[in-house]
């Protein structure tokens, strides 16, 4: 069984610093917990986003203009919260560790783009569930800013279509029933197999297939450390489980205030 340290300081900080200091090919895997400290509610807890705004399935988005309109209504109902959020201490700590060469990349389940806004280069972020801060054409992949889409939708309920090919446009997130991004899954698998430390930060580790990467890394020989406020289903497989607030733990370990 993993050693579990519930203290947010002291031994927990030292344990995390030691794990990072001895790693040569560390990977960080983040979930909602790294962003809840920035004011972005998570999805599954009571009062979370799904409690108030049930997601529109991908098949329904494709099949019905009414459901596409509902998709965008729900998106823009939560848009300001994400748009106003700024990277927290946890994001800044991860960015610092990547800048120092301690961490090779961050694999994230989050869609808020806060890792990039904290200074992590696009090619060092593997977004398993996409990104809600911009949109893409489902046909040709052309990228679109959200601001003009939002203005047109709020003014007249106008649904976005691709100016290039006429295809449907949606946020660059992975909806229920939508195929996981093959390139990102391959990148996450390669990083998991190559790392010597797999550091889980703020994830419930309940969403598949993303939650399979920690075990993949562990079975390939990596040290598995889980930092989360609550227990996870993979705690028993971890070499170390640290329970506490994400920002203070990561910030202290990385020397970031």
User: In this structure, what DSSP letter does residue 81 have?
Assistant: H
CA distance 169 to 88: 30
Q: Is 141 left (phi over 0), alpha (psi -120 to 50) or beta?
A: left
What number of other Cβ atoms are within 10 A of residue 247's Cβ?
21
Active-site amino acid positions: 129
User: In this structure, what DSSP letter does residue 140 have?
Assistant: T
Burial of 119 (0-12, 13-18, 19+ CB in 10 A): middle
State yes or no: cis peptide before 209, omega within 30 of 0.
yes
């Amino acid at each position: 069984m993993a050693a579990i340290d519930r203290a947010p300081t002291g031994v927990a900080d030292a344990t995390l610093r030691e794990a990072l200091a001895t790693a040569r090919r560390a990977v960080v895997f983040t979930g909602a917990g790294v962003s809840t400290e920035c004011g972005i509610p998570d999805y599954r807890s009571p009062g979370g986003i799904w409690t108030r705004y049930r997601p529109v399935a991908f098949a329904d988005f494709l099949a019905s203009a009414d459901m596409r309109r509902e998709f965008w209504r729900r998106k823009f109902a939560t848009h300001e919260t994400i748009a106003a959020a700024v990277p927290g201490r946890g994001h800044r700590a991860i960015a610092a560790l990547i800048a120092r060469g301690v961490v090779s990349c961050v694999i994230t389940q989050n869609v808020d783009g806060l890792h990039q806004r904290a200074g992590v280069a696009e090619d060092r972020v593997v977004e398993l569930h996409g990104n809600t801060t911009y949109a893409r054409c489902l046909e040709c992949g052309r990228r679109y800013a959200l601001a003009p889409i939002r203005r047109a939708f709020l003014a007249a309920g106008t649904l976005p279509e691709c100016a290039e090919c006429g295809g449907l446009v949606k946020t660059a997130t992975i909806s229920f029933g939508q195929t996981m991004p093959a390139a990102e899954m391959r990148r996450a698998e390669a990083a998991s197999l190559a790392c010597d430390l797999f550091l889980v930060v703020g994830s419930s580790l309940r969403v598949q297939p993303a939650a399979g990467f920690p075990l993949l890394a562990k079975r390939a020989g990596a040290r598995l450390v889980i930092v989360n406020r609550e227990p996870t289903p993979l705690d028993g497989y971890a070499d170390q489980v640290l329970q506490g607030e994400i920002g203070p733990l990561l910030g202290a370990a990385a020397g970031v205030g």
